[in-house]
Structure 1
Amino acid sequence: MKWRGRRGSGNIIDRRRSGGGRSGRGAAIGGAGGFGLLAVVVVGYFLGVDLTPLLNDGQMQQGGGEITAADEEAAQFVSVTLADTEEIWADIFEREIGATYDPAELVLFKGATQSACGGASAATGPFYCPPEERIFLDTAFFTTLERQLGAGGDFAAAYVVAHEVAHHVQNEIGVLGEVNAVRQRSDEATSNALSVRIELQADCFSGIWARRAEARFGSLEPGDVEEAMNAAAQIGDDTLQREAGRTVRPDSFTHGTSEQRQRWFATGYERGSVAACDTFAADRL
């Protein structure tokens, strides 16, 4: 991915040196505005990656310590990627949705911080917190993505950022609030099934972003889409459960199988429109 020397986003909040204080646009810590709590070691509803199987096996490491040159480079990469998503989704909102896109803020932290959705650490993975309209990301997760999950490459990391931005897009267009209101009234199986549709739509939106980034910025290089597809495969619910030595339980899936995540990313990339990403109307996921 060609990203060096390009414009970064003005919506980055860097807490890596100042520590993790409370944050939020009027939202209290510990309350997720009806969207559920995010515990330090349990992945919440809006994460792009369900790492619970790996967490229970102690395979995840928490961040912390000094800010390294690698940390700084990762932060710059995230800033450029976020700026790309802002430009692309602003255009999509104007042309396809007839609305103005209000971009999310992205909180960079190292080790641990707080959000209106609960505690965040290197163990929880990146996530989107709807009450704050913020994405939380410890860049150490990119190391986890490569070393523990086998999904290396800069475009794999870009896919993770794009996926969390996609949850913000869902929040902006009202999908996230409507679906999760239903989830709150549903049994566990129904709630999990709806969560899968949320996540697969976010994967599809990520594919749209990849297609538009390629056309608008010329930033994709040979092998980039394959990196994103590999990342989608490595973080499927079935793959994570299998790699953790567990029985694969489809009723417990909250993000979708590896095949589903790859296919919906590919759908967004190949078709390039929001209408193509209606996972809630799809008979086959």
Structure 2
Amino acid sequence: MNNTGGRGARRRALITGLTAVAALLATACGEETRGQLQTAGDIAGLPVTHFESGLKPDAPKPELRVRNASDSQEDQLAIAAIADVSDYWAQEMPVHWGEEFQPVAQLLSYDPNEAEIEVCGATTADAAMNAFYCPPEDLVAWDRGLLLPLLRERFGPMAIVTVLGHEFGHAIQFRLGDKAGVDESTSTIVKEQQADCFTGSYFRWIAEDKSKYFTVSTSEGLNQVLASMFFIRDEAGQSASEQGAHGTAFDRTYAFQLGFEQGAKECAGINQENVDARITEQPFHSGDDGSGDITIDERSVGLLQQSLDEAFAGAGVEPPQIVDDGGECDSGNSTPPASYCADTNTVSIDMDELAAIGQPVDRAAEFQGTESAGGLGDFAAFSEIASRYTQGIQKGVGASLDSANAGLRTSCLVGAWAGVIKDPGSGNTLVLSSGDLDEAIAELLQPRSLLAADVNGHPVANGFARVESLRLGYFEGSSACTQNYG
């Protein structure tokens, strides 16, 4: 985040819906007492499921020719993923585009620590920690020595399926050509958003139990998939217009969820115009300090109080005050390191613990597969405080704080606040920096996320719904939060 250097012009007009939040939430509260809530656990029309995701015990052995394949667990998963995603596209391409799917001509497994192999104009040593599709050779290749073991160990077997599904998305683009709006002039970010979207459509097929090879739960399983996409995000400060840009975690999970919810045909409609309208990947702006991170301390939390008060002024309620007194409430339930204390209308915080959460992300440690000495970033810490602040706003207008949808409504309202402060020229006290939304995604994907939790600290079970609610608020404002989450 970035401080604009002073209070600046107070917001006279907020995002659509903040000025009407009191009436909307009051209506929603009446619905809650009748039990007419949306189901918080619904995943794009599929029920929430809990089971171990991965290769089915009775999965057939793929009959594929793979150059340099080993008998490692990583290669077994990768080859099964290739066979599976090929089955998926053999079904989808005739239905949506009237074409028969042509299998990829070449498959290559490699270990960059072993003998170098020439591939796609380079060597496998140059492709460490990578998987890729090479159009001239119609080849899909993957690093079984470094990348795939790291993904499996950190995120489970379906992370490998995610990466191979993505690379096959590029093979589909190559096959569809004009039907996907892709040619030599198409920007990298459009190609990558399409490939992520195709991956989401493929995972919907798995979640519907149509795969012979894999099974994925819509709770923990999809959580791991989204976490793996977060891991392979671009660095903060990169521009979406750069060659090779893949997108932020916020952008990549959007595309995946679009495909999961609306299918492969919708993915082929992704183009430069609609990507430009919603992409969040951008360089640090000129006034940014500290490459997007500021220290969580008394001064910055004071600026956070000011920013939240400005954003939610239209709610017409007494805003809660943020106080550094340990992160717990004298009475009622506590959710340290930040708690909304209803009897005093305060947000109690543990400054030291939040400062640790707010430490910059250690990307080097992430890729080494070690525990990061850093935190989740400043916006993750600010979001946890903001989530408890919005509890006070919701209480002020009479909304239930411990209903089934309270956690989703809360993260959505935090997203709405982020949407208010995204413009550096708006005069807001705080302004989003490049990478801030990814820090919120990182917090949302924590097993005990406070950002998507009700007043008692009970989070929504599935990360898919958590991320979607934050995004909804960011793009559509607070009115969408009450309309969708009661």
Find 2:197's aligned residue among 160, 184, 204: 204
Question: In structure 2, do the counterparts of structure 1 residues 11 and 158 end up closer, same or farther at CA, with 3 Å as the change threshold?
Answer: same
Aligned mates of 1:143, 1:83 — CA distance in 2: 20
Instruction: For residues 46-101 of structure 1, give each alpha carbon's deviation from its aligned partner in whole angstroms, at most 9, with x where no partner exists.
Output: xxxxxxxxxxxxxxxxxxxxx6xxx6221111121111111110000111111100
Native 8 Å contact 1:12 1:108 kept in 2: no
**Greater mean alpha carbon deviation, residues 227-236 or residues 83-92:** 227-236
86-95 vs 106-115, which deviates more?
Answer: 106-115
State the match for 2:185 in structure 1.
182
> Residue 109 of structure 2 aligns with which residue?
108
Shift of 1:146: 5.8
Q: CA deviation at 1:272?
A: 1.9
Q: 8 Å contact 1:93–1:99 — kept in the other structure?
A: yes
Q: What secondary structure is seen at the aligned counterpart in 2 of 1:14?
A: coil
Q: Report the 3-state secondary structure (helix = DSSP H, G, I; strand = E; otherwise coil) of the residue aligned with 2:224.
A: helix
Instruction: Identify the match of residue 62 of structure 2 among 9, 20, 32.
Output: 9
The residue matched to 1:13 in structure 2 has which SS?
coil
CA distance in 2: counterparts of 1:270 and 1:229, whole angstroms: 14
Cα drift, residue 162 of structure 1: 0.3
Shift of 1:277: 4.4
Partner residue, 2:207 = 214
1:120 to 121, 124, 137: 124
CA positional deviation for 1:214:
2.0
Do 1:267 and 1:277's aligned partners in 2 also have CA atoms closer than 8 Å? no
Question: Which residues of 2 match residues 159-174 of structure 1 at below 5 A?
Answer: 159-174=162-177
The structure with the larger Rg is 2
Whichever residue aligns with residue 106 of structure 1, its letter is: L
- Contact 1:8 1:81 (C-alpha < 8 Å) held by counterparts: no
- Closer, same or farther: CA 260–168 of 1 in aligned 2, 3 Å: same
Distance in 2, matches of 1:120 and 1:87, equals 28
Distance 1:226 1:174, change over 3 A: same
Taking the aligned partners of 1:179 and 1:84, their CA distance within structure 2 comes to 24
Alignment partners' CA distance in 1, 2:199 and 2:182: 19
Aligned-pair CA distance for 1:180: 4.8
Q: Distance in 2 between matches of 1:133 and 1:8?
A: 23
1:231 corresponds to: 228
Label 1:144 to 1:264 Cα distance change in 2 as closer, same or farther (>3 A).
same
Counterpart code for 2:149: T
Q: Give the equivalent residue in structure 2 for 1:49.
A: none
Displacement of 1:181: 2.1
Give the distance between the partners of 1:176 and 1:132, measured in 2 at CA. Answer: 21
- Structure 2 vs 1, CA of residues 117 and 213 (structure 1 numbering), >3 Å: closer, same or farther? farther
| Partners of 2:155 and 2:225 within 8 A in 1 | no
Q: 1:157 to 1:101 in 2, by over 3 A?
A: same
C-alpha distance in structure 1 between counterparts of 2:168 and 2:179, whole Å? 13
User: For residues 23-38 of structure 1, what are the structure 2 equivalents within 5 Å?
Assistant: none
* 2:191 alignment partner AA: I
The corresponding residue for 2:305 is none
Distance 1:176 1:93 in 2: 11
Shift of 1:156: 1.3
Q: CA deviation digits over 1:115-156, x for unaligned, max 9?
A: 134222351511101111110112121123367xxx521111
Q: What SS does structure 1 have at the residue aligned with 2:107?
A: strand
State the secondary structure of the residue aligned to 1:174. helix
SS in 1 for 2:225: helix
Alpha-carbon separation, structure 2, partners of 1:271 and 1:8: 31
In the superposition, the TM-score normalised over structure 1's length comes to 0.67
Larger displacement relative to structure 2 (272-281 or 174-183): 174-183
Could you list the runs of 5+ residues in structure 1 that have no partner in the other structure? 17-66, 184-193, 243-247
Contact 2:166–2:199 (CA under 8 A) maintained in structure 1: yes
TM-score normalised according to structure 2 size: 0.40
Q: Could you tell me how far apart the structure 2 residues matched to 1:262 and 1:272 are?
A: 15
**Structure 2: gaps of 5 or more residues:** 1-52, 280-486
1:166 to partner: Cα distance: 0.7
Percent identity of the aligned residues? 22
Q: Of residues 146, 149, 158 in structure 2, which corresponds to 1:143?
A: 149
Cα distance in structure 2, aligned partners of 1:219 and 1:93: 22
Q: C-alpha offsets along residues 178-202 of structure 1, whole Å, 9 cap, x if unaligned?
A: 745226xxxxxxxxxx101100110
Q: CA–CA distance in 2 between the matches of 1:209 and 1:117? A: 30
Is 2:271 the counterpart of 1:274? no
Q: Aligned with 2:215: secondary structure?
A: coil
Contact kept? 2:111, 2:124, Cα under 8 Å: no
Distance 1:177 1:278 in 2: 7
Aligned residues: 211
Q: How does 1:21-100 map to 2 (within 5 A)?
A: 72-100=72-100
Contact 1:155 1:227 in 2 (8 A): yes
| Counterpart contact for 1:109–1:137, Cα < 8 Å | yes
User: Does the 8 Å CA contact 2:130/2:143 hold for their aligned counterparts?
Assistant: yes
Mark the CA change 1:180 to 1:8 in structure 2 (over 3 Å): closer, same or farther. farther
C-alpha distance in 2, partners of 1:135/1:176? 21
Separation of aligned partners in 2, 1:143 and 1:176 = 35
Contact 1:9 1:79 in 2 (8 A): yes
Q: Distance in 2 between matches of 1:176 and 1:277?
A: 7
**Is the CA contact (8 Å cut-off) linking 1:196 and 1:255 kept in structure 2?**
yes
CA 1:107–1:160 in structure 2 vs 1: closer, same or farther (change >3 Å)? same
Q: Is the 8 A contact 1:84 1:213 kept in 2?
A: no
